[in-house]
Amino acid sequence: MKWVLTFALLFPVFWKFTTAENTLSENNFTFKVEAPVQYQVIQREDQNYGWVDVQVSTPETPLSEIQLEHRLVLNGKNRSWEKLSGEWKNQNLLSRLTVPAGGWYGLEIREAGNPDNRSQVVQFGVGEVFVVAGQSNSGNYGELKQSTKTGLVSAFDFDNKKWQLAIDPQPGAGGRGGSIMPLLGDALSKKLNLPIGIIAYGQGGTSVREWLPQGSRFPNPPTVENKVRKIKDGEWESLGKIYPGFIERMKAYGKNGFRAVIWHQGESDANQKDPTRTLSGPLYKKYLTQLIERTREETGWPVPWFVAQATYHVPGDESDPNIRAAQASLWKNGVALEGPDTDQLKGKLRERDGQGVHFSGPGLEAHADAWFEKVSPWLAQKRNITKYKFSFGAIADCQYCAGPNRGSRHYASSAGKLKECVAELNKHDLEFVIHLGDFIDRDYSSFDKVLPIYQSLQMPAYHALGNHDFEVADELKGKVVERMGMESKYYEFSVEDWRFIVLDGNDVSFHAYPKNSLKYKDAERYYRENKIRSPRWNGAVGSEQVAWLRKILQKAEKQKEKVAVFCHFPVYPADPHNLWNAGEIISLLEKFSCVKAYINGHNHKGKYGQKDGIHYLTLKGMVETEDNAYSIISVAENCLDLKGYGREKDLTFNFKE
């Protein structure tokens, strides 16, 4: 996972928005857990675990010389202490843990070998997080204040940089009264047996026009004009006073940092006393769609939105058919998910004995129940959407040797990183693991260090050949394939209805053969006659192997199998690292609809592209980091889900219909 880079990019935001709240005095501890923070809820993945970014700091000794350990406590039971791997940045250790959904967990850090040097204990959870927005009935305007009864509902206080148990009024939302958030959170927590996080931002009395980004135009103003301005007759624009705070909260914890937006708004657009301030149904639909699409664009992921039907004012003014139809149209068009119809919550469920627009105590309970009835089944359905057939591990460019580091390449530490990787992969039910070339950097003896580690995998372990695997003495080049335990330089195998093809990109190359050999001279001729401009340390797939590849693809297509191709060298997008005959390989692959992915190493920075329904992924090099880089790829009927470790980032490859 590209988590170190992602975390580094998000660090200023993360630091600004999250500071640990702890009842223990920080002065009593050698280390301070900066992240996660007290009562923080991390959004779980669909596979029922969460990626927990950990940041540890200390004002004392140089941290790069200290080995830290961590342990988690759940329900009073201590887990064993484990090594905390990560990367040091300015007296801070940045790490990432995979933690099963649940909580509250207690996280504690200590120095290995010196248990008196430790951190405070921080409570956090992995569960479901929701952004709750709209106008007053999404905020703190209820008649009776509420609080979490389970103790497992937490609210993000954006302004004061902390999380806290959900006790009304909820931070971030307008009003000083009660809300549905502790009630809805408790109901979901009981159903899921998980912590629930709330990011509240309801703004009382607001039109959808006021939620639009600055400069958004519309023909008529809302009833309250302090967040809009007139351009000319018949033309107004939003001042953007609400949107920045909204999008900042949505982006605070990164891509997929929460489950969905819960949107309850519409009253200030419906049936206004001055009819010129009422918004038409088509315009309401247009502006809310614009808002939803803009948030998805800025967050960089398709944020799910639940939209309620909400237009109730007071007895006698109980609904606006035009706004209700607009809200419902968003569900029907797939722009949003169906929220509850809260116009039906009347009488004693409203404040002031049924005379007000806000909810009474019983009304808040009914409102929360209505949301629970919409959100809970969707969560259950979503958990069952992705059924994985099997999973496999993928590693690129371990590139071990005993030599000194060069720039960002940490050659000697690759053995330790590979050992850590193998230990993690052995915890998972994987069909196989493949290393995508450059297992060593140089020297035949380097195999002696890392092959035993790789061979300790508890599932089939494959290799693709890289150029550095042949950086050995000429007389030893012919022994490399056998030393790596490979029966052939290129081969194929199948798992269920998938066929995996492993190519040899060194087939035509300068590095795989002795300089006085015919194969070396063939490479010189190929390079010259084809006017290759790509570096000499790349290679090509030879004509005999291309013919073999074509036959395998024909067979897979006939048998209605899906195909993933592995190779050390990339072919797409354009890059100096690509195979000399990348175009030929791409052209061949595109002739077969069965080909879904081409996965490689070689370019340590990593890269991704999609062309004609085929996903091309370059995995990041394990050698090119102080931390680690590898992945687990899960295979579903319609996609591949990559879960990255270290600096490899998560990706989903959806297959073309």
User: How much is the pLDDT for 494?
Assistant: 96
User: How much is the pLDDT for 562?
Assistant: 97
CB 222 within 8 Å of CB 277: yes
CB 308 within 8 Å of CB 263: yes
Task: Return the biggest CA–CA distance within the chain.
Answer: 96
CATH (domain of 42): 2.60.40.10
Residue with tokens 């501890």: 29
User: Nearest Cα to 359, choosing from 227, 168, 130, 154?
Assistant: 168
DSSP state of 64: G
Which pair of tokens denotes residue 436?
Answer: 């995508």
Phi/psi of residue 534, nearest 5 degrees: -70, 150
Q: Which three-class secondary structure string do you get for 279-317?
A: CCHHHHHHHHHHHHHHHHHHHCCCCCEEEEECCCCECCE
User: Nearest Cα to 130, choosing from 122, 138, 118, 119?
Assistant: 138
Instruction: Please tell me whether residue 466 adopts helix, strand or coil conformation.
Output: coil
Instruction: Please tell me whether residue 382 adopts helix, strand or coil conformation.
Output: helix
Q: Do 449 and 531 belong to one domain? A: yes
| Angle in degrees, CA 539, 543, 548, rounded to 5 | 110
The alpha carbon of 624 is separated from its chain's Cα centroid by a whole number of angstroms, namely 22
Q: CA-CA distance, 324 to 332, in Å (whole number)?
A: 13
Q: Do 136 and 122 belong to one domain? A: no
User: Residues of 17-53 as b/e, b for ≥16 C-beta within 10 angstroms?
Assistant: bbebbbeeeeeebbbbbbbbbbbbbbbbbebebbbbb
Q: Do 428 and 316 belong to one domain? A: no
User: How much is the pLDDT for 63?
Assistant: 53
Residue with tokens 């040797």: 401
- What are the residue ranges in the chain where pLDDT is below 50? 1-26
Q: What residues are paired with 645 via a beta bridge? A: 630
Q: Do 477 and 337 belong to one domain? A: no
Q: Which helix (H) or strand (E) is 160 found in, with range? A: none
The alpha carbon of 97 is separated from its chain's Cα centroid by a whole number of angstroms, namely 14
Q: CA-CA distance, 469 to 487, in Å (whole number)?
A: 16
Instruction: Please tell me whether residue 447 adopts helix, strand or coil conformation.
Output: helix
CB 265 within 8 Å of CB 135: yes
Q: Of 348, 383, 418, which residue is a domain's last?
A: 383
Give the DSSP letter string of 490-504.
SEEEEETTEEEEE--
Q: Do 139 and 233 belong to one domain? A: yes
User: How much is the pLDDT for 2?
Assistant: 40
User: How much is the pLDDT for 385?
Assistant: 53
Question: Domain limits at 554?
Answer: 388-654
Q: Do 537 and 612 belong to one domain? A: yes
Residue 59, Cβ density class (10 Å: 0-12 exposed, 13-18 middle, ≥19 buried): exposed
Q: Of 89, 111, 126, which residue is a domain's last?
A: 126
DSSP state of 57: E
Q: Do 101 and 222 belong to one domain? A: no
CB 512 within 8 Å of CB 545: no
User: How much is the pLDDT for 24?
Assistant: 37
Helices marked H in 494-568 — which ranges? 518-529, 543-558
Which pair of tokens denotes residue 223?
Answer: 């009833």
User: Nearest Cα to 132, choosing from 188, 162, 160, 173?
Assistant: 173
User: How much is the pLDDT for 75?
Assistant: 78
Q: CA-CA distance, 167 to 425, in Å (whole number)?
A: 41
Q: Do 32 and 110 belong to one domain? A: yes
CATH (domain of 208): 3.40.50.1110
Q: CA-CA distance, 505 to 490, in Å (whole number)?
A: 9
Q: Do 611 and 515 belong to one domain? A: yes
User: Nearest Cα to 131, choosing from 301, 319, 385?
Assistant: 301
Q: Which helix (H) or strand (E) is 8 found in, with range? A: helix 3-17
Phi/psi of residue 385, nearest 5 degrees: -70, -50
Q: Do 604 and 647 belong to one domain? A: yes
Q: Of 126, 159, 190, which residue is a domain's last?
A: 126
Instruction: Please tell me whether residue 476 adopts helix, strand or coil conformation.
Output: helix
Which pair of tokens denotes residue 213?
Answer: 């980004």
Q: Do 486 and 341 belong to one domain? A: no
User: Residues of 301-336 as b/e, b for ≥16 C-beta within 10 angstroms?
Assistant: eebbbbbbbbbbbeeeeebbebbbebbbbbeeeeeb
Q: Do 256 and 378 belong to one domain? A: yes
Instruction: Please tell me whether residue 106 adopts helix, strand or coil conformation.
Output: strand
Helix, strand, coil in percent for the chain, rounding step 5: 30, 30, 40
**Number of domains present in the structure of the chain:** 3
Task: Write down how long the chain is.
Answer: 657
Q: CA-CA distance, 93 to 91, in Å (whole number)?
A: 7
Q: What is the pLDDT of residues 198-238, one digit of tens each?
A: 999 999 999 999 999 999 999 999 999 999 999 999 999 99
